[in-house]
Amino acid sequence: MSLPEGYGYIPSSLMTIGWVLIWQGILVGRYRKRAGINYPQLYAEKAEVQDSQAALRFNCMQRAHHNTLESAPVVFISTVVAGLKYPALAAAMCGAYSFARVIYTIGYKSGQPKRRLYGGAISTLTVLGLVSSATYAAYQLLPQ
């Protein structure tokens, strides 16, 4: 089996997710330090959040990072599979997903969780587009 022309865009688009996750991880560390939340505590407790804006912002940043980690495997596999038939489309949607996760993160880390909704909506649409195109590509690759 040979890869379609343009499949070279796929690895580049996938790496954007890696860079977003690294950036989010750095921000989680910064917000953790500001909030004084020590390891291994995953999130600030409710009382800590009520007493500290820094603790709330840490929880928001931590959740943004976790939410990206939750969807990244689906995006990865869908990009690889969709790229077998539609490499430019798959790479563009994967790149759009990463861009949307940046918007999502910037909104969420503000400490006002509703600000995540715009980036969240865009990333959800890209995930749905990737899963749909990957499903169709997988169908097309079935033996006749």
CATH level 3 topology of 9-136:
Four Helix Bundle (Hemerythrin (Met), subunit A) (1.20.120)
Is the pTM above the cut of 0.85? yes
- pLDDT tens track for 32-73: 999 999 999 999 999 999 999 999 999 999 999 999 999 999
**Per-residue confidence band for 144, with pLDDT thresholds at 50, 70 and 90:** confident
- pLDDT tens track for 119-137: 999 999 999 999 999 999 9
Mean per-residue pLDDT for 96-120? 96
**Per-residue confidence band for 110, with pLDDT thresholds at 50, 70 and 90:** very high
Write b or e for each residue in 71-108: b if 16 or more Cβ atoms lie within 10 A of its Cβ, otherwise e.
bbeebeebbbbbbbbbbebbbebbbbbbbbbbbbbebb
Q: What is the pLDDT of residue 2?
A: 86
Are 21 and 102 spatial neighbours (Cβ–Cβ below 8 Å)? Answer: no
